[in-house]
């Protein structure tokens, strides 16, 4: 049992997201849009369970990291995320993409989310075009060890280019690779990296990509992280429409993911809200921890694998391979996004293949 709380928790407003929230035993539980019958009913149900359990929450499933809300929803066979305002990628969309039969591309890209030393995980997710391969994760390593483990795993998976989060602890991996690259170059040796690696600052400015509504990513999103996740959202939405509604979309605009519990759960764990200027902003990892949700490292690695490479920073590793023949790359732009220059969206300005 968790530690009992004597005072009855209150129904409150989370101003950043506009959602109703209740804090119990130090954890925030989001209930849906503030001051609606649905969120108040969710609050009443949650408090009823809390009171009925001796004024404390039942122990949630540690394997799945579920809150009491999710446990109740499972018992009632409900989709928990469907009742929450601001879920970036609904669980139904994620489930529709599991095992979706899509053609693989010969080009393998990957994303690397780097965990802090200690219990946090580092996760590498590779994809062959729209088909995501099983994630690889490891923990309790120094950033130098993570750099070479990622190199080895990428080589094993046939990765041709890898984007990694270079902020925070990721700077250690960046330093390791840059130093090794400079030393190899000075000694006249081949690059120690068998594929192209690109650092990504998730908190940096979005790209200039133009969307169907006429706005650019800079006008729609607070930062690159929000744009990355929205690109994923559109892929999952199209996969859901294809599988559940029979709507046709080009294969390269959808996504197929493996039946990996961590990846599936994390993809529907991140909330978003609108700023006063109308831009999309994702909740921070700090806010996620406040409501008892751990860092979505598997999902972040997947999002990184779709980052437009022209937006990445200083690049190390082997040079990009020669582009395929024109008839192979002149395809509709991914996700229905059209570049302002009128191009096909598959050139250097996008880099997503």
Residue 311 has pLDDT above 90, yes or no: no
Residue 292 lies in a domain: yes
Q: Rounded to the nearest 5°, which phi and psi values hold at 282?
A: -85, 150
Q: Which residues span the domain enclosing 56? A: 12-85
The rounded distance, in Å, linking the Cα atoms of 34 and 344 is 42
Residue 7 lies in a domain: no
Give the single-character DSSP code of 335. G
Residue 348 lies in a domain: no
* CATH at residue 266: 3.30.420.240
Angle between helices 224-245 and 297-304 (to 10 degrees): 90
64 and 170 housed in the same domain: no
pTM of the model as a whole: 0.69
Instruction: Tell me which of 43, 63, 85 is where a domain ends.
Output: 85
The number of folded domains in the chain is 2
The rounded distance, in Å, linking the Cα atoms of 58 and 71 is 9
The string of pLDDT tens digits covering residues 18-47 is 778 888 877 778 887 788 888 888 888 888
60 and 133 housed in the same domain: no
pLDDT-derived band at 76, boundaries 50, 70, 90:
very low
CB 258 within 8 A of CB 98: yes
261 and 128 housed in the same domain: yes
- Count Cβ atoms within 10 A of the Cβ of residue 346 and give its class: 0-12 exposed, 13-18 middle, 19 or more buried: buried
44 and 156 housed in the same domain: no
The string of pLDDT tens digits covering residues 235-291 is 999 999 999 999 999 999 999 999 999 999 999 999 999 999 999 999 988 888 887
- pLDDT, greater one: 235 or 62: 235
The string of pLDDT tens digits covering residues 151-204 is 999 999 999 999 999 988 899 999 999 999 999 999 999 999 999 999 999 999
Return contacts of 78-82, CB within 8 angstroms, 24+ apart. 81/268
CB 272 within 8 A of CB 316: no
* Predicted local distance difference test score (pLDDT) of residue 346: 29
186 and 56 housed in the same domain: no
233 and 99 housed in the same domain: yes
């Amino acid at each position: 049992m968790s530690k009992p709380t004597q005072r009855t928790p209150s129904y409150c407003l989370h101003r950043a997201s506009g959602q109703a929230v209740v804090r119990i035993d130090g954890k925030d539980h989001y209930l849906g849009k503030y001051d609606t019958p649905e969120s108040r009913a969710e609050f009443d149900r949650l408090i009823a369970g809390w009171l009925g359990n001796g004024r404390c929450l039942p122990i949630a499933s540690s394997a799945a990291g579920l809150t009491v809300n999710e446990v109740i929803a499972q018992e009632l066979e409900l989709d928990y995320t469907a009742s929450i305002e601001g879920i970036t990628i609904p669980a139904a969309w994620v489930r529709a993409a599991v095992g979706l039969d899509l053609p693989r591309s010969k080009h393998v890209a990957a994303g690397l989310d780097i965990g802090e030393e200690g219990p946090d995980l580092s996760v590498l997710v590779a994809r062959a075009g729209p088909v995501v391969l099983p994630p690889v994760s490891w923990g309790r390593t120094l950033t130098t060890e993570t750099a070479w483990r990622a190199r080895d795993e990428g080589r094993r998976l046939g990765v041709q280019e890898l984007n990694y989060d270079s902020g925070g602890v990721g700077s250690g991996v960046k330093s390791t690779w840059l130093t090794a690259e400079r030393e190899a170059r000075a000694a006249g040796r081949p690059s120690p990296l068998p594929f192209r690696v690109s650092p990504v600052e998730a908190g940096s400015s979005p790209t200039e990509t133009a969307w169907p509504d006429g706005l650019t990513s800079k006008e729609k999103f607070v930062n690159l992280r929000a744009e990355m996740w929205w690109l994923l959202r559109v892929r999952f939405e199209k996969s859901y429409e294809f599988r559940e509604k029979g709507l046709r979309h080009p294969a390269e605009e959808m996504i197929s993911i493996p039946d990996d519990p961590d990846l599936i759960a994390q993809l529907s764990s991140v909330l978003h809200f609108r700023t006063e200027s109308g831009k999309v902003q994702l909740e921070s990892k700090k806010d996620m921890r406040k409501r008892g949700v751990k860092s979505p490292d598997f999902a972040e690695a997947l999002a990184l694998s779709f980052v437009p490479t022209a937006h990445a920073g200083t690049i190390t590793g082997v040079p990009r391979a020669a582009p395929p023949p024109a008839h192979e790359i002149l395809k509709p732009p991914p996700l229905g996004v059209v570049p302002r220059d009128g191009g096909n969206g598959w050139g250097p300005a996008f880099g997503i293949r």
